[in-house]
Amino acid sequence: MKPEIQKTDFNEFVMNGNMLKFLTTEQLNHVNDIQYSVSFNKGENIFKQGAPMPHIIIIEKGMAKVYLEDGNNRSIILKIIKPGEIIGGPGFSTDYKHHFSVTALQDTSAFYIDVIEFKKLILDNPEFGLKLIGSLNMAHIGLYNKLKTITHKQMNGRLASTLLYLCNNIYDSDSFVTNLTRQDLADMSSMTKESAIRILKDFKTSGIIDCTNNHFKINDKKALLNIIENG
């Protein structure tokens, strides 16, 4: 199904708090005039790795996964993005191409802003530019930590790290229902689906977690942290 394009209440979105709050009133009015919103069904690609990057995208509602593809039907999920997050990437102001793919994990809508217009916002508003750089640097730190985890930790440590990331950073709850499949959890942890299922079963048998279908409950965060430290 082709994504639906529609206008939404951009000012209300900004008032809820996100990076755009650092724009001036004049800039916000301008962005409101030029932006448009695109709606995606669960499972639809928001953009593909290697595609041109004509827009900066900001998630309005829903949730999406950011992942790298290696051309052999394998992928590594780098992070999950939530409402208010800006999707640009290293292609911005370099080659203007997307260097990762993004797919909606649930019904999702996103604001599109022309990449050249977005660049003007940064040049005309140093505070906004600095806040954006800070946000990007925090994202890079997260990716560096993920690289360290998948490079140096054993599989149980990698999956424990993924579960704590979802619990603490994405769902903000020890008990959550996720649209991530077992394959997604494996792709987040750099392992096969079969290994992820086996380790989840081990965690459940040990009482560290409860999981039924897509519902997860973290019973013992300390145990997961110990597994990460020692695994």
User: For 162-204, what is each residue's pLDDT tens digit?
Assistant: 999 999 999 999 999 999 999 999 999 999 999 999 999 999 9
pLDDT of 108 > 80? The answer is yes
Calculate the CA dihedral of residues 36, 184, 1, 40 and round it to 10 degrees.
-20
> CA–CA distance from 219 to each of 101, 103, 158, 213 (Å)?
33, 30, 18, 17
36-40 and 108-114 beta bridge pairing: antiparallel
The predicted pLDDT at position 17 comes to 65
pLDDT of 7 > 60? The answer is no
- Phi (first) and psi of residue 48, to 5 degrees: -110, 145
Average pLDDT, the chain: 91
pLDDT of 225 > 60? The answer is yes
- The residue among 89 and 156 whose pLDDT is bigger is 156
Among candidates 78, 77, 28, 35, which has minimal Cα distance to 56?
Answer: 35
Chain centroid to Cα 18, Å, comes to 15
> CA–CA distance from 4 to each of 1, 37, 110, 146, 202 (Å)?
9, 8, 11, 34, 43
